[in-house]
Structure 1
Amino acid sequence: MLHFVLLSQVLVSAAFPTLDDTVPCDLSKVTISGGNYNFNEEDNAVEYSCPSGKYPYPGPTRKCLKGNVWEKQNIKAVCKDVRCPVPMGFENGEYDPKNTTYIVGDVLQFECWGGFELRGSKQRTCKENGKWSGKTTICEDYGGFCLNPGVPPGTSKDSSSYSIGDKVKYTCNSGLSMLGSNERECTEDKSWTGSEPSCRAWYTYDTAEEVADMFSSTLSATAEVADPDRNPFAFEKRKIKIKKGDPMNIFIILDASKSVGAEHFKTAKESTITLIEKISSFDTSPRYAVISYASKDIKIVRLSDDESFDPAEVIEKLTDFKYDDHKDKGTNTRGALKAVHEMLVLQELRDQENFMKTRNVIVLMTDGKHNMGGDPQVELTRIKNLLDIGQKDGVLHRDDYLDVYVFGLGRGIDVNDVNDLASKKNGEVHAYLLNKIDTMKNAFDSMIDETDAMDMCGLNKDIPEKYLNRQDFTPQKLKETIIEKFPWIAKIIITRRGIQEICKGSIVAKNFILTAAHCFHFEENVDLINVDVGDKKGLKVKDFYRHPLYKPEGKQDKHIRKSFDYDFALLELKEKLEFSATTRPICIPCTKSSSWALRKKGEDIKCKEHEDILFKEELVKALFVAEEPNKNMEQKDVTIKMGAARDNCLQDARKLKEFENVTDIRDMVTDQFLCAGGTKPLVEPVTCKGDSGGPLIIEYKKRYIQVGVISWGTVNHCDKRGNRITTTTLPNHARDFHINVFPMLSWIKSVVKEDLVYLKDV
């Protein structure tokens, strides 16, 4: 069981009014050389911005004081070069060049003296955010009981003695503030208490990529030091673990104080919703609580409420909550933590057996400041006492049951207060400084460890199109990234007499690929078939299963030259797949996994309920994955026509010359077919020959559920080379037809008996 606590405090005003004559101070006196500024009317201050790699001097803001004079008015504002900390305390080696300052792009080279081994980065580059690339460089002689904890750039260390019980103290160079531990102790398990310090300038921040790396990649503390084959510096991922069926309590606490502002409060809500959707997309059953606070807290959803189990209800209530629902706009962070403590106390009373088995995570987003309610540390101490966390006989007891991650967001962050609230654990980073709110969304997505969730159906790595267009992507990196976006797609290659035929398919189990029957000959030799999935190529096929009622010649008496009824097939692979970020199963309706995806829980869920959720509209949003020759896979958005809209599909199919003698078009387009395509009201993307057998998919709350198999179309949409014809040239009757998965479920169940757990009425 896992408690997950989220406190979001976003403290930068987002909207700036147009400069006008109502400003009491003279704006001409606060212009900035090399940058821009905006006037924040609410705070009666200007806020400066500089190009990348620069920072505003003497500070990010300047207030209009009494007497209509600006703060530090006599100091000219200018954009200066961002500087990285100087490695003044580097031990047992040399670094080059030795400068008094280092700006963006400068490179440091490190070398250890004889008898010392270099750990960390041999070369480090000063980055635009005021940090050095790579990891702290350490020259190690393995002479201490504990390994040398190092001296990060910008810090000084008071001792080089590393025996049991020895302590080292760190201080930051002038003008820098510390994140991490200022004192660390060598313990009996050969590790250091606390976390590595990082000394920061006020303008230094963490990027989304750095947050993901720092959060997930941590020093392994579990490997045996005595193991001679062990790499003592190997890193392992440490994220919030998501396991199938794991219960969680998720406390979401949003700051709505004055310094937040309405726009940033709205963005914080959206980020929180993103996190809820991400977590609830896994096969988990969390209980949510939502608290908003300013001077006082408002409990939007209580942990004990019935709807706390339903993420959709929680999201709806959170969406409806407004910034202005708080009238008094103070900042009582301790009050918010007190509300968390009270809910934990109540939960302990209700479930004493499981309470102490849970893991608790607090994610606090703040500038570190509070102006009422007292010190938040007092309430954190009460939470630790409740969870029985603390020093006992010189050993930190139950420390794994609480992690406090603090994300400092905005200008004027109080680094010391942020650092005081964050956990201090060896090899881990719990305090982050962010410069923009988008980083929060990206970081939340990276805080979920899917390692134990790879066999959950319908998952993928959600990658925006703008990210795929990054200029720094090599063709290989782009291809790898796209595979993670479509990890359930299989490419099927049938080679006959030296000529390759291409179809698509979908991974439905560790050794089964779902595809279309018409891709294969009736007496197909499985040795001619190869399957590519993820980064695995040329997988061999053990057996081939065609739906027994697929009979393409079976309706010639009705003037149908080739029927596509029951155009369903399954390929059984010789070796089972190992699921990963690039190879995952798609969700198949009316299975237990798809019930989780559709948020339908319980033993008595019916298959019809899945169908009603997925096909509840007359125009159902869906997608297929296309791949033209020598191009990467792309998502194509279409709509499935249901009800009266489907009748138009039948009429368009009736226009084909091949069906002019067909008495009833429903003999060709049976109820088994789903219809997509068309040019009204919008021109929709079309399928090509190589798309046959691929999945028609509905995305439901970030899970992908297959509802059809691409079968046939009314017109040839591709040229001789297999390229898709431009949609503007399509005739009005261009339609695609896909075999509906629902009528085929009983046959799938008869073939795929492992991995998939079906509902009782399948």
Structure 2
Amino acid sequence: MQELELLLYIVTLYTQQRYSKIQIPGGEGSRQTTGRRGNKMLPLILLSHIALSIAAPSPTVECDLDKIAIVGGEYTVSEGGNVSSKVEYTCPEGMYPYPALSRECQYNGRWTDEKLKAECKAILCPRPTMFDNGLFHPRKLRYGIGDVLHFECWGGFRMYGPETRTCQANGKWSGEVTICDDQEGYCPNPGIPIGASKVDISYKIESKVTYECGPGLTMYGSKERVCMENKRWSGAEPTCRFPYTYDTPEEVAQTFSASLSETVESSDPDKVEEDADRTIRVEKDGLMNIFIVIDASKSVGAKNFKTAKDISEVFIDKMASFDFSPRYAVISYASFAKPVVQLSDDDSAKADKVIERIKKYKYTEHEDKQGTNTRAALSEVHNMMSLEHVRNSTKFLLTRNVILLMTDGRHNMGGDPTVEVKRIRELLDIRKGNGREDFLDIYVFGLGNDISDNEINDIASKKDPEKHVFKMKNIDDMKEAFDKMLDDSEILQMCGISRDPGQLGVQEQLPWIAKISITRGSSEEKCKGSIVSRDFVLTAAHCFHLDEELHTINIRVGGKSFKAKQLYRHPKYNPAGKQDKKVEKSFDYDLALIELDKKIQFSRTIRPICLPCTSGASWALKQRGKSVTCSDHEKTLLPSDMERAKFVAEETTNALEWKDVFVKRGNWRLNCLEATKKIDKFKDTPDIKDLITDNFICTGGTEPQVDPPTCKGDSGGPLIVQYKQRFIQVGVISWGTINSCDGTKRKQDPVSPLSRDFHTDLFHMVDWLKEKVPELEFLA
């Protein structure tokens, strides 16, 4: 049947006259026939070769389903036991399927490893075989989850790395490699990963060390490392893994986070370089191409392919926030490679356009999904690079290139993919010792049970002290890693980032919210605020008395408490300043900044909001260049007389929630003024514009929807406009015309049509904010 399918495939190509050269995929190489005669004769030759098979088809081959049960675990089987059916095993936490994570029905009617009974065994961590210049204990034949190794160095040697390491649930030891070194070598002792042995102990310049993993273990990283002139070791630190060992989403996210931080910080001309992990580093005003390569073979399936697209979109959207504009190419592959976005496309540098094209691309667009031709995908990358080299050879050699490859299997056609990696390196002029390694980063994400550890390790880049190859249980784990990839990094100074509301706690959805309390004797005033930098929280001036003592102010962000170092009110805020105009209490310029007593450390639950008219907001809005103005931001965020916005309410303690409202501008704002004039306590105000100045944004009322009113305790909180996946604050909650609340709770009574809320308009406060928080880099 395979030959028949092959024949039909070739005949289809021939009859459509799509190629003058036909490549027959199969095995580790390929055969070609060229010219008119070859194209015409090949189908006839193959037809005669398999005519008897067609005339007398063989019976369907099936494997015995009674031979796949697993002791202590569960399994699923695809294709009902026919040839190519796959068995997937699962075991309880802390155990793994033995002798293999999966089995496949072969053409001889037998399952792979059929003679060995499947059972769940306890997860182990690799056993130390060598340790230089010191001792470790306890010495055991097996190390299970929770076991702890202790290390000691001999006299004259100093310990680098952890003194203890713990066996984790994924079969990996916690922490980094422990090393005992006397620092007498030209390069430092590179150490020995647990489970490996090392050959050669000379650490002179040009000296080599080689590693080998113990039985049953596979090596990730470099098998050979060389002591270089810069006193660092070439390649990547090796690790030894069992087949069931996976990287957790947290581990992957941490690596990417630290690396992406380097990308952002590289735009700072005063930055001092330090040795740190990075994924993608670009010098300021540098050039970058990013190639996203997605496996679309049959085993992936439509659902996982969509998740891979989602991951790509998340990555591109987050990269679009950095201070550079990479160009993208997106390639999907199965038996053949198919470009989704070409590097040479006019819109390849426009993140939103690239994302739009990824969304439209369907899994079904791959006609042949039987194979996994990784080499073809990397060959397509090489072809795109070659075209760029021809178009602009000068810029080409100054451009950094990043390849993200996602696959759920090993290649089974097209040949060795590392051949294309070598061709790409040659094209980029990356040679030993010529200092161009940073112009190529290949990250490989192996997903699931069918991955070849050696293959994905061989394809991935190897750089000290970085990690470019990851093996993950499934694509959902990879999506979780990418969702978390910004969590615990300095890069979190990027403003207006939130997490998926469906997955995490409210504080992670609203990481910029600050809770403010002011203690006055036996009473306590509560307000909200927003984190705008490491030092400042933005809030409303009316939350504080004019003679407020700093020690009475407490600020909580992300569960952490801060005190006020200084309180700055807008200099034009004067509650009694308009009493001669019959405005009993004026809220004009109702704005304050609290300078904290210590800097905020950003994390997954503590991040800054974007303020308009700042460079951070420009990147969030995808508006770049020196010509961008504050007015451009306003037109983007509030383009019409009726725009959706959000504020944050706390009707019960620690229960933050979004409230959706409409910002009223133009004629709708005039309605706000007219509604306010009809309220008894404001009827005597001669000019309502003395009460409601142009410094206020209006929300509330019952048209076009019933807007939830703000309540006591909401004051000082942000009024936010969401732009795609980013959040920009446009106002600060100030005052309302009608009290529709019992304390912090909104009444069940219908909201009055006259009810309006007013928020200090931050577009009108830029000059003062620029003066007080210059680190935000306000637009000129």
From the superposition, tell whether residues 519 and 245 of structure 1 become closer, same or farther in structure 2 (CA, over 3 Å).
farther
State the shift of 1:237 in Å.
Answer: 4.1
Cα deviation, 1:307-352, whole Å, max 9, x if unaligned, reads 2232111111110000111112233322222332233333344444
Residue 734 of structure 2 corresponds to: 711
Aligned to 1:416: 454
The match for 1:640 is 662
Residues 197-206 or 376-385, more deviating: 376-385
Q: Who is 1:519 aligned against?
A: 543
From 257, 260, 268, give the equivalent of 2:300. 260
Q: Which residue of 2 aligns with 1:325?
A: 365
For 2:275 and 2:568, how far apart are their aligned partners in 1?
A: 41
Alignment of 1:327-366 (within 5 A): 327-329=367-369, 330-366=371-407
Please give the alpha-carbon distance, in whole angstroms, between the structure 1 residues aligned to 2:673 and 2:120. 66
1:744 paired residue number: 764
Aligned to 2:200: 159
Shift of residue 493, structure 1, vs aligned partner: 5.9
Is 1:293 paired with 2:319? no
- In structure 1, give the amino acid aligned to 2:758: H
1:510–1:73 CA distance, 2 compared to 1 (3 A): closer
Give the match for residue 208 of structure 1: 249
Report the counterpart of residue 566 of structure 2 in structure 1.
Answer: 541
The letter for the 2-side match of 1:211 is: V
Residue 41 of structure 2: aligned partner: none
Change (3 A) 1:689 1:268: same
Q: Per the alignment, in what secondary structure is the counterpart of residue 600 of structure 1?
A: coil
Alpha-carbon offset, residue 732 of structure 1: 3.6
Who is 1:476 aligned against? Answer: none
Shift of the 92–579 alpha-carbon distance from structure 1 to 2, 3 Å rule, reads: closer
Equivalent residue, structure 2, for 1:284: 324
SS class of match (2:729): strand
Q: Supply the distance in 2 between the matched residues of 1:400 and 1:465 (Cα, whole angstroms).
A: 38
Q: Does 1:47 align with 2:88?
A: yes
Deviation at 1:585, TM superposition (A): 5.3
1:474 paired residue number:
none
| Superposed counterparts of 1:479-490, under 5 Å | 482=507, 488-489=512-513
- Matches of 1:94 and 1:406 in 2, distance apart? 35
Q: 1:641 to 1:163 in 2, by over 3 A?
A: closer
Matched, 1:589 2:631: no
Q: Could you list the per-position Cα deviations for residues 32-54 of structure 1 after superposition, in whole angstroms to 9, with x for gaps in the alignment? A: 22211112229412211112211
Match of 1:325, as an amino acid? E
* Cα contact 1:688–1:718 (8 A) shared by 2: yes
Q: Which segments of 5 or more consecutive residues in structure 2 lack a partner in the other structure? A: 1-59, 260-273
TM-superposed CA distance for 1:304, in Å, is 2.9
Pairs within 5 Å for 1:669-680: 672-676=696-700
TM, length-normalised to structure 2: 0.77
Give the drift of 1:410. 1.3
**Farther-moved stretch of structure 1 (377-386 vs 263-272):** 377-386
Separation (CA, whole Å) in 1 of partners of 2:283 and 2:502: 29
Cα deviations by residue, 1:5-37 (Å, 9 ceiling, x for unpaired): xxxxxxxxxxxxxxxxx9944434322222111
| 2:352 is the counterpart of 1:312 | yes
Q: Structure 1: give runs of 5+ residues left out of the alignment.
A: 1-21, 219-233, 470-481
CA distance in 2, matches of 1:743, 1:122: 54
CA distances 1:501-534 after superposition (whole Å, capped 9, x unpaired) = 443444557887643343345x556868857486
- 8 Å contact kept, 2:497–2:609: no
- Select which of 484, 499, 509 maps to 1:462: 499
How many residue pairs align between the two structures? 697
* Structure 1 equivalent of residue 465 of structure 2: 427
Q: Which residue of 2 aligns with 1:475?
A: none
Establish whether residue 397 from structure 1 lines up as the match of residue 435 from structure 2: yes
The amino acid of 2:359's aligned partner reads T
C-alpha deviations, 1:424-455, integer Å up to 9, x for none?
Answer: 22332222211121332343356569978666
Note if 1:85 corresponds to 2:123.
no
Query: Structure 1 residue 444 and structure 2 residue 488: aligned?
Result: no
Q: Which has the larger radius of gyration?
A: 2
Percent of aligned pairs sharing the same letter: 46
Q: What is the aligned partner in structure 2 of residue 31 from structure 1?
A: 69
Tell me, what secondary structure is at the counterpart of 1:111? strand
Classify 1:573/1:419 alpha carbon distance in 2 versus 1 (closer, same or farther; 3 Å): closer
When residues 33 and 546 of structure 1 are mapped into structure 2, their CA distance, relative to the original with a 3 A threshold, is: same
- Residue identity in the other structure for 2:476: D
Aligned pairs for 1:58-77 (under 5 A) are: 58-66=99-107, 68-77=109-118
CA separation of 1:286 and 1:681: change in aligned 2, threshold 3 A: same
- CA distance in structure 2 between the partners assigned to 1:446 and 1:502 by the alignment: 32
Cα displacement (A) at 1:678:
7.3
User: What amino acid does structure 2 have at the position aligned with 1:48?
Assistant: Y
Amino acid at match of 1:419: N
Shift of 1:416: 0.9
Q: Aligned-pair distance for 1:595?
A: 3.1
CA gap of 1:67–1:652, structure 2 versus 1, over 3 A, is farther
Structure 1 residues 165, 77: CA separation in 2 closer, same or farther (over 3 Å shift)? Answer: same
Equivalent runs, 1:466-477 vs 2, <5 Å: 466-468=503-505
- The alignment status of 1:139 with 2:163, answered yes or no, reads no
The answer to whether 1:702 aligns with 2:725 is yes
Q: Offset at 1:752? A: 5.9
Cα distance in 2 between the residues matched to 1:319 and 1:342: 24
- The question of whether the paired residues in 2 share the 8 Å contact of 1:625 and 1:636 is answered with yes
2: CA distance, partners of 1:556 / 1:73: 92
Deviation at 1:460, TM superposition (A): 4.0
- Partner Cα separation in structure 2 for residue 235 and residue 515 of structure 1: 39
Whole-Å Cα distance in 2 between the matches of residues 91 and 437 of structure 1? 38
Q: Distance in 1 between matches of 2:532 and 2:127?
A: 54
Measured in 1, the distance between the counterparts of 2:535 and 2:144 equals 54
- Higher RCO, 1 vs 2 (CA within 8 Å, ≥6 residues apart): 1
Q: Does 1:375 align with 2:416?
A: yes
Separation (CA, whole Å) in 2 of partners of 1:668 and 1:755 = 33
SS of equivalent residue, structure 1 residue 277: helix
Instruction: Confirm or deny: 8 A CA contact 2:187 2:204 kept in the other structure.
Output: yes
Deviation per CA, 1:457-482: give whole Å up to 9, x if none.
x344637675449xxxxxxxxxxxx5
Mapped to 2, the partners of 1:556 and 1:140 lie a distance apart of 79
Question: Given the superposition, is the C-alpha separation of residues 632 and 699 from structure 1 closer, same or farther in structure 2, using an over 3 Å criterion?
Answer: same
